[in-house]
Amino acid sequence: MIDEEKINNIKSQLQDIEAQLADPKIYTSPKSANLVATQRDLTEKLELFNELKKTSDEISDAKSMLDDQEMKQLAQETIQQLEPKLASLEEKVKIAMLPTDPNEHKNAIIEIRAGAGGDESSIFAGDLLRMYLRYAETHGLRAELLSESSNPSGGYKEVIVQITGEDAYGRLKYESGVHRVQRIPTTESAGRIHTSTATVAVLPEAEESDVDINPNDLRIDVFRSGGHGGQSVNTTDSAVRITHLPTGVVATCQDEKSQLKNKLKAMNVLRTRLLDMRMQEEEKQLSDARKSQIGTGDRSEKIRTYNYPQDRVTDHRINFTTHGLQKIIDGDLDGLFEALRGSEIQKNLDLNKA
């Protein structure tokens, strides 16, 4: 189980990253956070390998003493104590050496859109937004509203929020797909249960180095902001819409009073959507083995149902059901995320055995 080649490869990567981090200029670059996160991951893997090697050596030493009658009992006790530890470490090393998502440590941009169900779907989209905001708050992540289109009856037709902080995308990436709610809407006078949907897209925030955008490929329009806001809203042309002409991808921001700030935010969303488009194209070219992992990445896939009458939440990708729906809507998503992560790890381990 001790793979010296992998250990040396990790050491080499660590040395390279540490050399980059030794330059103070790197900390002015957006990629510094990714470098620090990668350094942490590699250090943890190296510590696991070192602990595995130490435990394996101690067992070998104990076995070499079994022929010594004076030391035999002590050697047997040592082996009995260390063999379960060795098995546990071997499993941890297997998991640690699985391929990692290169976007794991990036910030996330969450796009939530009302789906089927009329006003109730907009209200549900607002519920999902609050769920993610509360999750972010309780896990030390920061949230910033980028764009919103509210529904006069409540909730949102569309809302986009940026989540920044340690492993923001890695924590939230499982949420992409169609979320379904079953409940009696506040607008329902007859007390009938309705089914409504909202779609969620979680995208890794793109850095400037991730996507090369030719300024000549952009059309930038400015217009008057609408919706909620302060004194300047609806009075100045501060809202910005940027269109990437080769792909037709559009990003709009009107949350800030400053046209420049709105332009910077819209460019950030545009880069992220272009990166996501490239990732989606790459995923289509992957093998059938990749498709067996959690979900297909298809935004039209129904991933979860929130059933209010039965106080039940079901994640359809892994056939996982739990109760205490209100706690989940209030942002307690750890149980769901652990189940999803565990299922993905197991499927990756099974693929490695095949």
58 and 137 both lie in a single domain: no
Higher pLDDT, 97 or 126: 126
- For residue 102, being part of any structural domain is answered with no
CATH number at residue 346: 3.30.70.1660
22, pLDDT greater than 80: yes
- For residue 69, being part of any structural domain is answered with yes
Q: Quick one: what percent of the chain has pLDDT higher than 70?
A: 89
How many domains, the chain? Answer: 3
- For residue 29, being part of any structural domain is answered with yes
300 and 328 both lie in a single domain: yes
19, pLDDT greater than 60: yes
193 and 118 both lie in a single domain: yes
CATH number at residue 271: 3.30.160.20
- For residue 210, being part of any structural domain is answered with no
Q: What are the pLDDT digits (tens) for 89-101?
A: 988 888 888 777 7
236 and 173 both lie in a single domain: no
12 residue type, one letter: S
The reported pLDDT for the residue numbered 10 is 85
- For residue 103, being part of any structural domain is answered with no
Q: What are the pLDDT digits (tens) for 232-252?
A: 444 567 889 999 999 999 999
- For residue 313, being part of any structural domain is answered with yes
The reported pLDDT for the residue numbered 68 is 86
Q: Model pTM?
A: 0.77
CATH number at residue 60: 1.20.58
Q: What are the pLDDT digits (tens) for 263-309?
A: 989 999 999 999 888 888 876 765 443 444 444 445 567 999 999 99
Q: If we measure between CA atoms, which residue out of 308, 322, 317 comes closest to residue 127? A: 308
92 and 224 both lie in a single domain: no
DSSP 232-286: TTTTS--EEEEEETTTTEEEEE-SSSSHHHHHHHHHHHHHHHHHHHHHHHHHHTS
303 and 196 both lie in a single domain: yes
The rounded distance, in Å, linking the Cα atoms of 340 and 328 is: 15
Q: What are the pLDDT digits (tens) for 47-67?
A: 988 899 899 999 999 999 998
188 and 39 both lie in a single domain: no
Domain end position, chosen among 65, 96, 127? 96
Q: What are the pLDDT digits (tens) for 211-227?
A: 889 999 999 999 876 65
228, pLDDT greater than 70: no
340 and 325 both lie in a single domain: yes
Range of the domain at 183: 108-205+290-353
Q: What are the pLDDT digits (tens) for 164-176?
A: 998 899 999 999 9
201 and 335 both lie in a single domain: yes
55 and 178 both lie in a single domain: no
305 and 197 both lie in a single domain: yes
Least confident range from 134-138, 256-260, 270-274, 329-333: namely 256-260
Alpha helices in the chain (DSSP H): 4-21, 32-63, 72-96, 119-138, 168-172, 259-284, 288-291, 325-329, 334-353
The reported pLDDT for the residue numbered 190 is 73
- For residue 240, being part of any structural domain is answered with yes
261 and 238 both lie in a single domain: yes
The reported pLDDT for the residue numbered 296 is 42
Distance set, CA 350 to CA 6, 73, 205, 345 (Å): 20, 38, 30, 9
Domain end position, chosen among 75, 96, 117? 96
Domain end position, chosen among 229, 263, 284? 284
- For residue 101, being part of any structural domain is answered with no
Higher pLDDT, 317 or 1: 317
